[in-house]
């Protein structure tokens, strides 16, 4: 059962059209990207071969020999489609709308990549400098960036909120100690730490995340600390304490729900921040290792291949649209949670 | 170290000295005379080393004036050659801290050695020395200096300057440990027999053909240097006298450096120096970004530009200035030592210890596809580890080609038969996955293509891109599985000891990146190093190169056996463009690659310049022109 306040906030959020629509579109895109293998993939959706149906999308790879081809590495389904058409034995292949994955190099013998966008070749946004499909890399790059951003947010907020709350609730020496610790962490240059880490191990999704969380959880602590301090001295908390409530109950049932509204408004901006951070790192070459599809890598490729404008245009357009939408959602949430209802959103 | 060795040996051990720009010239002359009159302290010689006290009898003095010349008699003197550097040097010294900047080659190559090598015949030709002879011990060499040789300040070059070179380079005052070491460990003695006769003794016997390269050190202007504790600071911006055609004439810190042709250069009339080093001035200005520099070139503010990289040649070097024929494109095949680039497989790794895996891996690398696509067919496959040393080259070796059947066969012999769910071969749960360490972001696009095609063979490559310095450090610490890198090549013969001798295997900070060792190979390498007989060395090199191929520890990648440059119409070259050893066509320096005397062949045609500029103003067009020369393709 939603509280009347929550219902009010939700109504208010819905009434801000661009934020609301942005939220819908973003959610839809993220959900769709989870099933990206079905939309953008070099593996066929369905193959009908000699009376049998195959669904290669998920699961183990099917060597070419499965379909009577003469090689035992992964089947080239686009080629298979041509082969079936030539044979004319009633076999067929159903390819996804974009029949390329983000890693394969679709290279031609008569010209050099990057290839410009073309309906005929199936590269709707062209290819990058090694013949990889720009659209495929955009989609998978989006998924990686979003996943990274959300996981980062979850960790940062979990640690940040817990610590901030504890600092505010207990105060005293504990508070002082953590304030200093946070100040120290805030002064560690993230980029250098990542460069050092990258020199020791090949950075992957989780190592990058670990470094970011290690240095990034501090942002939320200050807000939580302040609002906990504020709520702690309110009468209802004092009353709960008088009734003999435990610390956990006081924080969990009384303080957190009231302090959390501050946090909620930060979420969209943290998501945008996470995406930008990963993109920046990839752009500089300290992010996820190649050939991981990533927006930062595309951006750096695009800027060094300005004569092939489709690379840089695609990725810049995608970034602008996504970040803009996230910002709209953020604005709408902030507005919806604003206790001063007499202000108007313009 | 390869590069460094070359510089020291040929460029000579010269230093930069304080030129008396602010000093009163009258006061300086007696000072120089007094300095020259000083007795030099003797060179410290270890037991077992040392040249005879008097010139040995029976020396056979050789010279070389029968080789053909390679400069064009049509060359015109004059004009300013304008080029650029990416940053201003931190010092004008030639040794010591921070002395390895953009202008280092200009400084080094304007300090001549006793001889250089003919770029076509690879034989020694006179430079500061007119004659040379070899001692009976196989490690000493004697030179007769050209009495005409002068420092740029007019002081004659004498035997004392060579003796001083050793003292100078052994001195702690110059803060150059590498030089200190080289002149102690490799150069054992230098003796003056008379004003114009010297002897140099090196550490070990070398084949006669390589003696000059190994031990032919250059002189140091002893009248100029004052070796004391403040030498480094004192000489940061002084201009040391030199013996080459150009001397620094004008410096504006942070902006440009201008070299001026030495007036009445002493070597102007030497056979192999005639008609060379033609511009009166060379102006190097600071342009911090190559793309910006390229724009300057398009405007005609820079005379020539390197266009070797496929992207520059095909995409950037287009447009009006090229179509109208104002800028001419040159594609010149040379025959210089090829950098040994490729994949160095660390045999200390359990997977790569198996030769079958190494062979399989070589057959799983589709270099041909990389060349045909992202490299635009411009590069060539490097057939073997070392190439470009004339007779030493083993040209029968072909690199293992991309062949999935052969790869599968070799992997099967190593026990890798089954493919996992992801299509990667596996044995007892161990996947055939290998890490490639590399340091140049530009190489990623080459590697991802190899990576994709390797999957077909059931091999997974993971790419580890590190900062250039860190990647090399990791390779030197032997922490890599596959090192993707290239060794710069120079010298007269290939090198095996540093790369394949077991003495360097499984040790950090050595160049044996494969951690490879083989008793027979060790023995042959030592024979190769010790042998002073050319035929024997050539035979050994052929055999060693074959053994490297058979070991399969290096998968050679690409070679670029040419230079491509663009130059404005007024920049003229001989009809033959360059020599076998021309690393660059528009090279204003005395020596190219620190070894062969191939530079300075171009000239500036003043009339043509006027014509071109006028045509450009009026919109008159010429025929677009691309000059291709394949005379030295394939050796």
CA of A36 to nearest chain B CA: how many angstroms apart? 18
CA distance B39 to B55: 20
Q: Does A112 touch chain B (CB under 8 A)?
A: yes
**Chain A residues 165-184 with CB within 8 Å of chain B:** none
Nearest residue in B to A305, CA atom: B311
pLDDT reading at B20 higher than 50: no
Q: Which residues of B touch A289 (CB under 8 A)?
A: 462-465
What pLDDT score does B16 carry?
32
Query: Which residues, other chains included, contact B133 with Cβ-Cβ below 8 Å and sequence gap of 6+?
Result: B59, B60, B61, B62, B141, B142
Q: What is the pLDDT of residues A10-68, one digit of tens each?
A: 898 999 999 999 999 999 999 999 999 999 999 999 999 999 999 999 888 899 999 98
For A252-321, give the secondary structure using H, E and C. Answer: HHHHHHHHHHHHHCCHHHHHHHHHHHHHHHHHHCCCCCCCCCCHHHHHHHHHHCCCCHHHHHHHHHHHHH
What pLDDT score does B328 carry?
96
Alpha helices in B511-587 (DSSP H): 519-530, 534-551
Say if A19 falls within a structural domain.
yes
Q: Which residues of A touch B452 (CB under 8 A)?
A: 103-105, 291
Q: Does A289 touch chain B (CB under 8 A)?
A: yes
Q: Does A71 touch chain B (CB under 8 A)?
A: yes
* 8 Å CB contact of A129 and B374: yes
* 8 Å CB contact of A112 and B421: no
Query: Containing domain of residue A198, as a range?
Result: 4-34+136-342
Say if A225 falls within a structural domain.
yes
The domain that contains B386 carries what CATH number?
A: 3.10.105.10
Say if A42 falls within a structural domain.
no
Say if B226 falls within a structural domain.
no
Q: Which residues from B are below 8 Å from A when comparing CB atoms?
A: 314-315, 369, 372-374, 376, 404, 408, 419-423, 435, 441, 444-445, 447-449, 451-452, 455-458, 462-467, 470, 474
Query: Containing domain of residue B415, as a range?
Result: 340-559
Whether residue A306 contacts residue A297, with contact meaning beta carbons closer than 8 Å, is answered with no
Is residue B544 very low, low, confident or very high in pLDDT (cuts 50, 70, 90)?
A: very high
Facing residue for B465 by CB, picked from A72, A103, A290: A290
Is residue B122 very low, low, confident or very high in pLDDT (cuts 50, 70, 90)?
A: confident
For residues B587-594, give the mean pLDDT: 61
For residues B47-73, give the mean pLDDT: 93
3-state helix, strand, coil in chain A (%, to 5): 65, 5, 30
What pLDDT score does B28 carry?
58
CA distance B524 to A53: 62
Say if B202 falls within a structural domain.
no
Whether residue B207 contacts residue B540, with contact meaning beta carbons closer than 8 Å, is answered with no
Nearest residue in B to A108, CA atom: B373
Q: Which residues of B touch A113 (CB under 8 A)?
A: 373-374
Q: Does A307 touch chain B (CB under 8 A)?
A: yes
Q: Does A73 touch chain B (CB under 8 A)?
A: yes
Facing residue for B463 by CB, picked from A71, A109, A289: A289
* 8 Å CB contact of A72 and B374: no
Number of structural domains chain B divides into: 1
Facing residue for A60 by CB, picked from B421, B451, B474: B421
What integer best gives the mean pLDDT of chain B? Answer: 89
* 8 Å CB contact of A307 and B315: yes
Say if A333 falls within a structural domain.
yes
Q: Which residues of A touch B441 (CB under 8 A)?
A: 285
Whether residue B366 contacts residue B360, with contact meaning beta carbons closer than 8 Å, is answered with no
The domain that contains A24 carries what CATH number?
A: 1.10.3720.10
* 8 Å CB contact of A291 and B445: no
CA distance B174 to B168: 8
Q: What is the pLDDT of residues B305-316, one digit of tens each?
A: 999 888 889 888
Say if A43 falls within a structural domain.
no
* 8 Å CB contact of B374 and A71: no
- Among A63, A112, A289, A304, most B C-beta atoms within 10 A, so best to mutate, is A112
Q: How are beta strands B626-629 and A92-94 bridged, if at all?
A: unpaired
The rounded Cα B116 to chain-centroid distance in angstroms is 14
* 8 Å CB contact of B435 and A72: no
* 8 Å CB contact of B449 and A74: no
Nearest residue in A to B375, CA atom: A112
What pLDDT score does B12 carry?
36
Token digits of residue B604: 């500036």
Tell me B173's DSSP state.
G
Question: Cα dist. A109→B312, B374, B376 in Å?
Answer: 21, 11, 10
Say if A63 falls within a structural domain.
no
Q: Which residues of B touch A72 (CB under 8 A)?
A: 408, 419
Q: Which residues of B touch A199 (CB under 8 A)?
A: 466-467, 470, 474
* 8 Å CB contact of A291 and B462: no
CA distance B280 to B540: 47
The rounded Cα A120 to chain-centroid distance in angstroms is 31
* 8 Å CB contact of B373 and A113: yes
Say if B13 falls within a structural domain.
no
Number of structural domains chain A divides into: 1
* 8 Å CB contact of B466 and A199: yes
Facing residue for B422 by CB, picked from A61, A113, A202: A61
Whether residue A136 contacts residue A101, with contact meaning beta carbons closer than 8 Å, is answered with yes
Nearest residue in A to B467, CA atom: A199
* 8 Å CB contact of A73 and B423: yes
CA of B413 to nearest chain A CA: how many angstroms apart? 17
Say if A175 falls within a structural domain.
yes
Facing residue for B465 by CB, picked from A107, A131, A289: A289
Predicted structure pTM score: 0.78
Is residue B571 very low, low, confident or very high in pLDDT (cuts 50, 70, 90)?
A: very high
pLDDT reading at B593 higher than 50: no
- At which residue do the structure tokens 């026990």 appear? B415
* 8 Å CB contact of A289 and B404: no
Say if A177 falls within a structural domain.
yes
Largest CA distance in chain B: 87
Consecutive sets of 10 residues in chain A, 346 residues long: mean pLDDT of each? 80 91 95 93 92 90 90 90 90 92 83 85 89 93 94 94 91 92 90 80 85 90 89 88 87 83 85 91 85 91 85 94 93 82 54
Residue B476 exposure: Cα atoms within 13 Å on the Cβ side: 10
* 8 Å CB contact of A61 and B444: no
What pLDDT score does B104 carry?
85
Is residue B73 very low, low, confident or very high in pLDDT (cuts 50, 70, 90)?
A: very high
- At which residue do the structure tokens 């290096």 appear? B554
The rounded Cα B616 to chain-centroid distance in angstroms is 38
CA of B310 to nearest chain A CA: how many angstroms apart? 11
pLDDT reading at B23 higher than 80: no
Say if B575 falls within a structural domain.
no
Nearest residue in B to A128, CA atom: B445
Say if B53 falls within a structural domain.
no
For residues B152-167, give the mean pLDDT: 95
What pLDDT score does B13 carry?
33
């Amino acid at each position: 059962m939603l509280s009347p306040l929550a219902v009010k906030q939700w109504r208010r959020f819905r009434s801000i059209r661009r934020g609301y629509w942005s939220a819908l579109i973003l959610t839809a895109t993220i959900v769709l990207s989870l099933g990206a293998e079905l939309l953008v993939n070099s593996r066929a959706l369905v193959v009908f071969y000699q009376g049998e149906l195959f669904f290669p999308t998920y699961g183990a790879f099917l060597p070419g020999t499965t379909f009577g081809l003469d090689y035992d590495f992964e089947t080239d389904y686009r080629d298979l489609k041509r082969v079936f058409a030539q044979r004319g034995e009633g076999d067929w292949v159903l390819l996804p709308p974009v029949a390329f994955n983000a890693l394969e190099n679709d290279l031609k013998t008569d010209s050099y990549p990057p290839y410009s966008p073309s309906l005929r070749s199936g590269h709707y946004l062209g290819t990058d400098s090694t013949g990889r499909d720009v659209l495929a890399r955009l989609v998978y790059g989006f998924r990686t960036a979003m996943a990274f951003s959300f996981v980062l947010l979850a960790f940062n907020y979990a640690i940040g909120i817990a610590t901030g709350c504890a600092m505010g609730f207990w105060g005293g020496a504990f508070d002082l100690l953590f304030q200093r610790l946070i100040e120290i962490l805030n002064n560690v240059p993230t980029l250098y730490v990542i460069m050092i880490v990258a020199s020791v191990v090949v950075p992957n999704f989780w190592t990058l995340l670990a470094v970011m969380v290690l240095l990034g959880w501090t942002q939320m602590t200050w807000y939580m600390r302040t609002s906990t301090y504020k709520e702690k001295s309110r009468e209802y908390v004092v009353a709960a304490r008088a009734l003999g409530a435990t610390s956990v109950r006081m924080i969990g049932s009384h303080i957190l729900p009231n302090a959390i509204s501050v946090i909620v408004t930060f979420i969209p901006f943290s998501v945008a921040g996470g995406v930008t951070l990963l993109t920046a790192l990839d752009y500089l070459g300290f992010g996820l290792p190649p050939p991981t599809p990533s927006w930062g890598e595309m951006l750096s490729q695009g800027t060094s291949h300005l004569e092939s404008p489709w690379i840089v245009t695609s990725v810049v357009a995608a970034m602008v649209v996504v970040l803009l939408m996230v910002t709209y959602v953020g604005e709408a949430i902030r507005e919806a949670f604003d206790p001063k209802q007499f202000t108007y959103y313009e | 170290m390869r590069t460094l060795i070359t510089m020291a040996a040929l460029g000579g051990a010269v230093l930069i000295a304080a030129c008396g720009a602010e000093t009163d010239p009258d006061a300086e002359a007696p000072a120089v005379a007094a300095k020259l009159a000083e007795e030099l302290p003797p060179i410290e010689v270890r037991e077992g080393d040392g040249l005879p006290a008097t010139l040995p009898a029976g020396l056979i003095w050789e010279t070389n004036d029968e080789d053909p010349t390679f400069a064009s008699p049509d060359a015109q003197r004059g004009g300013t050659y304008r080029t650029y550097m990416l940053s201003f040097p931190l010092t004008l010294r030639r040794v010591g801290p921070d002395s390895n900047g953009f202008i280092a080659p200009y400084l080094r190559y304007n300090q001549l050695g006793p001889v250089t090598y003919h770029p076509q015949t690879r034989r020694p030709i006179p430079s500061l020395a007119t004659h040379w002879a070899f001692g009976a011990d196989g490690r000493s060499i004697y030179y007769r200096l050209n009495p005409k040789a002068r420092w740029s300040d007019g002081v004659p070059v004498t035997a004392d300057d060579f003796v001083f070179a050793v003292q100078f380079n052994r001195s702690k005052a110059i803060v150059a440990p590498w030089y200190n070491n080289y002149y102690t460990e490799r150069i054992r003695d230098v003796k003056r027999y008379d004003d114009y006769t010297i002897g140099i003794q090196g550490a070990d016997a070398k084949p006669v053909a390589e003696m000059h390269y190994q031990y032919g050190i250059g002189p140091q202007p002893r009248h100029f240097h004052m070796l004391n504790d403040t030498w480094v600071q004192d000489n940061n911006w002084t201009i040391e006298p030199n013996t080459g055609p150009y001397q620094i004439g004008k410096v504006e810190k942070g902006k440009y450096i201008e070299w001026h042709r030495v007036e009445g250069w002493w070597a102007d009339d030497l056979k192999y120096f005639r008609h060379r080093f033609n511009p009166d001035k060379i102006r190097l200005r600071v342009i911090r970004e190559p793309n910006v520099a390229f724009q300057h070139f398009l405007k005609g503010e820079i005379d020539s530009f390197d266009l070797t990289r496929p992207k520059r040649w095909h995409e950037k070097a287009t447009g009006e200035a090229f179509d109208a024929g104002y800028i001419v494109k040159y594609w010149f095949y040379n025959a210089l030592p090829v950098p040994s680039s490729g994949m160095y497989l660390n045999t200390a790794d359990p997977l790569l210890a198996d030769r079958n895996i190494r062979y399989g891996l070589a057959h799983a690398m589709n270099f041909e596809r990389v060349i045909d696509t992202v490299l635009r067919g411009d590069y060539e496959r490097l057939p073997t580890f070392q190439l470009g040393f004339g007779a030493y080259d083993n040209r029968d070796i072909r690199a293992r080609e991309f062949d999935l059947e052969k790869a599968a066969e070799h992997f099967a012999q190593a026990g890798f038969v089954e493919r996992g769910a992801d299509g990667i071969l596996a044995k007892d749960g161990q996947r055939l996955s290998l890490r490639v360490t590399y340091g140049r972001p530009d190489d990623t696009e080459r590697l991802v293509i190899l990576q994709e095609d390797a999957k077909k063979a059931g091999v997974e490559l993971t790419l580890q891109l590190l900062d250039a310095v860190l990647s090399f450090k990791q390779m030197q610490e032997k922490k890599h599985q596959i090192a993707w890198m290239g060794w710069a090549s120079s010298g007269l013969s290939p090198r095996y000891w540093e790369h394949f001798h077991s003495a360097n295997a499984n040790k950090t900070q050595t160049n044996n990146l494969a951690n490879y060792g083989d008793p027979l190979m060790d023995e042959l390498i030592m024979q190769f190093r010790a042998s002073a007989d050319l035929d024997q060395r050539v035979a050994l090199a052929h055999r060693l190169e074959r053994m490297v191929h058979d070991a399969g520890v290096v998968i050679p990648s690409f070679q670029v056996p040419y230079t491509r440059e663009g130059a404005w119409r007024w920049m003229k070259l001989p009809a033959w463009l360059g020599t076998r050893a021309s690393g660059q066509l528009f090279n204003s320096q005395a020596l190219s690659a620190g070894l062969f005397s191939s530079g300075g062949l171009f000239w500036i045609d003043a009339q043509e310049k006027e014509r071109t500029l006028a045509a450009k103003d009026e919109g008159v067009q010429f025929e677009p022109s691309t000059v291709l020369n394949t005379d030295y393709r394939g050796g």
